[in-house]
A and B are shown apart, each in its own frame.
Chain A
Amino acid sequence: MAEESKPPRLDGEGKAGKKRKKKDPDLAAAAKRMKRGPGVDLKAIGDKKLKGKLRRSEDVISKSQKKAAAINEWLLPASAGALEAEGVERTWNFRQDAIVAAVDQTAAKKAFDLSLPDLGPYSVSFTRNGRFMLLGGQMGHLAVMDWQRSHLVCEVQVKETVRDVTFLHNETFWAAAQKKYVYIYDKRGLEVHCLRDHAEAHALEFLPHHFLLASVGEHGVLRYQDTSTGHIVATHRTKMGPCSVMRQNPHNAVLCLGHARGTVTMWTPNLTVPAVKMLCHQGPVTALAVDQGGHHMVTSGADGQIKVWDVRMLKPLHAYFAHSPPTSMDISQRGMLAVGYGRKVQVWQDALSSKAQSPYLTHQLPAGVLRSFRFCPYEDVMGIGTSAGISTILVPGAGEPNFDSLVANPFQTNKQRQEGEVVALLDKLQPDTIVLDPDSVGRLRKEPGEVAAQRRQEEAAANAARLAAQRREAEDKVKMKGKNRPSKRHRKKQTNIIEERKPTVKERQKQEADRRKEAAAKKAETVIPEDAPRSVRRFYKA
């Protein structure tokens, strides 16, 4: 045989070397979610060196995004909670006791009722890691609980009206807006500060990245106080009457206030006027909530409307109608919207990006009237404060299942908490970094051409004006000093002499010019004949 028969090629064997690794669409989508803002447009850059540098850095960024996505895909241990209905069942028909009965024992323990009928109604606040719950009864009952372990950390009776409560950067400090002032307590329940500047506050918010405690109240004055240094950073008079609806946008730390005339204003410590002012409702704004990513804001008014807004575009997305004006609203970490009024709490899934048709869960309070509620971070739990006490309900799929230990760790030890506090203080952001677009911090914006030109023009005008003023001043001044200086005297003499001689000199010059002109004319007149001999030619000269 001249030619050896080739073994049959296995399908795809030869191609294996060339074949590209197929892109996992899920991973690509996950990597896209890891993106922080748009990349650099390399085409627009002319500078080769810079282009190379930016290309390399963009490479690193995209690689790290892919890596982070892969890590998230493979290493995150937990998946989010869920509630599914089968057959004719509907999720909003499930009652709490049925849900509690269906889950494991540790989760079931998280749903509880505390009957505190005497000192309510209660407002609720959670720490950022979701481990501690702060209760503020309107009649002066303040308590901090390690709620999952049913452990009471501290309890105070201030015998004074308490309107709002909030934790500061961690569970060791918390603030309460009381009858006249705002007070700060520590984890033992001891009053450590009385903030007399914050008079008659109705609502409190703490901005954890900036260490700012903000309050607004009876006088409609918004105050920012730095809790690490104690300074009042800003005091803004809203001029829109008493205000008790305040929530922060977690994405950019802008404070949203809901006012009695239906407007919502957004404030930063750097502007004395609201950065944004929008008319949202007819009648007072009753509740307000902003989602984690800073994309959506939900407002509710006394007109019974619940409106969803795109906070970045400042446009209404869609509206829902409530049977009675909601008294409290909150958005969970995974974007569930809770609305409460009277004795009813509704939870809506996917109600922000699109208009949902039916609620996800409904809950009827067993006793009392609703005051406020909050979703617990990193848990499928909502804490509800009512006039009858405190209760928690299970909302499957509300919380982020995987925490980041370096951001908020529900299982942190004392040492970790202390270290985290130091790191947070070192990384504390200055109040002037609060802007509507937080990505603009650390970025230089090139001045537009016309603005630069105008600025230059103004500078030039100012300089010219200054110079002119200086000159005028110099001229106005009658200088006596140096008048008798030898050089000055000499110069004066010179000028005088010249002035005297000038007319005569001019006269003489004129005469000279006339004479020359005359001579030239004469010369032109005398024409030497062609035939005159050379010896006599000189006699023809004028």
Chain B
Amino acid sequence: MKVKVISRSEEEYTRERKSDLRKVQRNYDPQLHQFEKAHEYTRALNAAKLDRIFAKPFLAALPHDDGVTCLARNPKLVNSIVSGCADGDIRIWDIPGERTLRRLVGHTGAVKGISFAPDGETCVSAGIDATVKLWKVPYAPFEAGEVQEDAEAVFEFQGKNAFRGVDHHWDRTSFATAGAAVDIWDHSRSEPVQSFTWGSDTVTSVRFNPAEPDVFASTGSDRSIALYDLRRATPLRKLVMQTRCNALAWNPMEPFNFTAANEDCCLYTYDMRKLTSALTVHKDFVSAVMDVDYSPTGKEFVAGSYDRSVRIFGAQAGHSREVYTTKRMQRVFAVRFSGDATYVFSGSDDMNVRVWKAKASEQLGVRLPREKHKQAYNDALVERYKHMPEVKRIARHRHLPTAIYKAAKTRRAVTDSDKRKLQRRIEHSAPGSIVVKPDRKRKIVAQVE
């Protein structure tokens, strides 16, 4: 007779002293882990609920004396942004301290654009007073206290017409301004080095391509998006849409793609090599989109709108992931992502620069590895079960102001009825006589070389 029975010695399975770690034994046999799937689903549901409970994205409001018209982030510093105001005032902010470091005084009209030089110590601003000013930007000192001082411009470039936007080159000492024409300036010259015109309409914004040092793009009030090459005397190509674009931003990770904020409540992502059709149409706003800025990761971008909301979209997503509103926030004119992709800044008509979290429910500050792990697990669970009706309902729910909610409803009714009408027309016409253009192409009017 051979006998063997289970016989465990307690010492083997328990710790010897209190300072030891507890012994953990795993057995992955599915028979011991009953209801695994149901438990996982329950956890996913709880994770979705927790995510909504902790969604408190608003962090701070930084006050100005007039509507905020433009924002710029310092490429060398995470904690500092600069905002321009409709009364010609520019302020450098210390974000963690929620205080103004400097007021840059000099513009006599509204500031329409600010941009940092690549060294992070100088910035240029352009205004409707037809001047571009060059400023020295000090680093944020760490000690607290009131340090607000006024500072004067270092240099002033005189233009002929009002400026609508400015973008500094990310590598050189030159910058581009948008106005009656697109002008290229250099720090050391008082006159524009180069000038591009295409028609007689105003150019509203200009942005350098983040990878190709000579390529940049602009949006104009003639409903156009134009591409330029500094090595050529004339603009490269122009895309005319049905409605005007207010701003554009290049994707920093896929630098051939850019997203344009349009007046028709949508954003359009284009591939600069193929302008016949948009890559994606980003819908959800209910009024003109005023500004757009990409996250440094290139995975998502933030956009601000005339409908008093800020939305965050995935780079390839047709609808927004997040919408931020407050009772007091008015029309948003400028938005920026922070350099570490953790925060979002918005400047609006109600004289405030607002600081938001990019992920509404993210826990700020240093987290333990265990907490990080748990958060990652919860996110994965929600991602896995996002199609389940219960989880979807909770994860997608956002409380919107009545005005936006109703406007969205009306817009939906209109688009639905248009769709129905089109469907009926197709049904009652000869087959093939009505060609339906996809949304990605519908708003493109012409392409000019």
| 0/1 string, B384-406, CB within 8 A of A gives 1 | 01011100000000000000000
Residue A1, interface by CB 8 Å: no
CB closest chain-A residue, reference B41: A442
Cβ–Cβ contact B36 & A36, under 8 A: yes
B42 in contact with A428 (CB, 8 Å): yes
Q: Considering the complex, which residues of chain A in the window 332-379 have a beta carbon less than 8 Å from any beta carbon of chain B?
A: 333, 378-379
Interface centre among B8, B13, B28 (most CB of A within 10 A): B28
Partner-binding segment picked from A6-14, A100-108, A176-184, A323-331? A100-108
CB distance from B287 to the nearest CB of A (A): 32
Say whether B22 faces chain A, with CB atoms less than 8 Å apart.
yes
B1-33 interface with A by 8 A CB criterion: 1-10, 12-14, 22-33
Q: Out of A81, A83, A394, A404, name the residue touching B26 (CB < 8 Å).
A: A404
Within the assembled complex, what's the spacing in Å between the Cα atoms of A396 and B3? Answer: 7
A84 at the interface (CB under 8 A from B): yes
Contact A102 B25 (CB under 8 A): no
Contact partners of B8 in chain A: CB under 8 A: 78, 410-411
> Chain B nearest CB: distance from A292 CB in Å?
5
B37 on the A face (CB < 8 A): yes
Q: Are A433 and B38 in contact (CB under 8 A)?
A: yes
Contacts A84-B1, A407-B33, A442-B38 known; A68 to B28 CB distance under 8 Å?
yes
Q: Give the one of A75, A333, A405 with max B CB within 10 A.
A: A405
Q: Is A34 an interface residue (CB 8 A)?
A: yes
- A64 CA to B409 CA in the complex, in Å? 46
Give every chain B residue within 8 A of A112 (Cβ-Cβ).
Answer: none
A85 in contact with B1 given A107-B7, A427-B42, A442-B388 (CB within 8 Å): yes
Q: How far is the CA of A403 from the CA of B24 in the complex (A)?
A: 10
Query: Known: A413-B22, A441-B37. Is A402-B1 also a contact (CB below 8 A)?
Result: no
Q: Does B39 contact A (CB under 8 A)?
A: yes
Indicate if B43 sits at the interface (CB-CB under 8 A). Answer: yes
Q: Are A84 and B2 in contact (CB-based, < 8 A)?
A: yes
Closest chain B CB from A92 CB (angstroms):
12
User: How far is B6's CA from A396's CA once the two chains are assembled, in angstroms?
Assistant: 8
Known: A33-B30, A292-B31, A404-B25. A438 touches B3 (CB 8 A): no
Q: Quick one: closest A residue to B43, CB to CB?
A: A427
Residue with the greatest number of chain A CB neighbours at <10 A, chosen from B6, B23, B41, B44:
B6
- A441–B38 CB distance below 8 A: yes
Give, as a whole number of angstroms, the nearest-CB distance from A281 to chain B.
Answer: 28
Cross-chain contact B28 with A72 (CB below 8 angstroms) = yes
Q: Mark B35-63, 1 if CB is under 8 A from A, else 0.
A: 11111111110100000000000000000
CB of A34 within 8 A of CB of B1, answer no
Check A442 against B7 for contact (C-beta < 8 Å).
no
Interface residue B200 (Cβ < 8 Å from any Cβ of A):
no
Q: Is the CB of B27 within 8 A of A402?
A: yes
Known A209-B35, A251-B34, A441-B37; contact A406-B5, beta-carbon cutoff 8 A: no
**Interface residues contributed by chain A, number (CB under 8 Å):** 68
Contact across chains for B38 and A380 when beta carbons are under 8 A apart:
no
* Alpha-carbon separation in the docked complex, A444 to B384 (Å): 12
Closest-CB distance, A119 to chain B (whole angstroms): 30
B392, chain A: closest CB distance, angstroms: 10
Interface flag for A518 (CB, 8 Å): no
Please measure, in the bound complex, the distance between the C-alpha atom of A250 and the C-alpha atom of B27, giving whole angstroms.
Answer: 18
Q: Assess whether A406 is in contact with B30, with CB atoms less than 8 Å apart.
A: no
A410 to B27, CA, bound (A): 14
**B-contacting residues, A420-453, CB 8 Å:** 426-430, 433, 438-439, 441-444
By a CB distance below 8 angstroms, the chain A residues around B385 are 442
Contacts of A102 in B (CB 8 A): 1, 3
CB distance from B3 to the nearest CB of A (A): 4
Query: Chain B residues with Cβ under 8 A from A426's Cβ?
Result: 43, 46
- Evaluate contact between B6 and A107: CB separation under 8 angstroms: yes
Q: Which of A76, A86, A106, A429 is in CB contact (< 8 Å) with B2?
A: A86
Contacting pair A106 B7 (CB below 8 A)? yes
A401 within 8 A of B: yes
A36 to B38 alpha-carbon distance, docked (Å): 13
Verify B27–A72 contact, CB threshold 8 A.
Answer: yes
Which residues of A lie under 8 Å from residue B7 when comparing CB positions?
103-104, 106-107
Q: With the chains together, A458 CA to B297 CA distance in Å?
A: 50
| A401:B6 contact, CB within 8 angstroms | yes
Partner of A103, one of B3, B10, B32, B38: B3
Q: Chain B contacts of A311 at CB under 8 A?
A: none
Report the bound CA distance from A189 to B7 in whole Å.
30
- Please state if A430 and B42 are interface contacts (CB–CB under 8 Å): yes
CB contacts (< 8 Å) of B3 on chain A: these are 81-84, 99, 102-103, 396
Q: How far is the CA of A107 from the CA of B22 in the complex (A)?
A: 25
B34 partner residues in chain A, CB cutoff 8 A: 209, 250-251, 438
The reply to whether the CB of A52 lies closer than 8 angstroms to some CB of chain B is no
CB-CB < 8 A to A75: which residues of B?
26
**A429 and B35 within 8 A (CB):** yes
Are A209 and B39 closer than 8 Å at their CB atoms? yes
Chain A residues with Cβ under 8 A from B1's Cβ? Answer: 83-86, 89, 94, 98, 102
CB <8 Å contact, A438 and B37 = yes
Bound complex: CA A98 to CA B27 (Å): 32
A407 / chain B contacts, CB cutoff of 8 Å: 27, 32-33
Q: Lowest 4 CB-CB distances: which A-B pairs, in order?
A: A442-B41, A68-B28, A84-B2, A380-B5
13 contacts across the A-B interface (CB closer than 8 A):
A34-B30, A36-B36, A107-B5, A209-B38, A293-B31, A404-B26, A406-B26, A407-B27, A410-B13, A416-B22, A429-B35, A433-B42, A442-B44
Extra contacts, 18 of them, besides A71-B28, A411-B8, A413-B14 (Cβ < 8 A), are: A36-B37, A69-B28, A82-B2, A82-B4, A83-B2, A83-B3, A98-B1, A99-B3, A104-B7, A396-B3, A403-B25, A404-B32, A411-B10, A427-B39, A430-B42, A433-B42, A442-B38, A442-B40
**Residues of chain B at the chain A interface (Cβ within 8 Å):** 1-10, 12-14, 22-44, 46, 385, 387-389
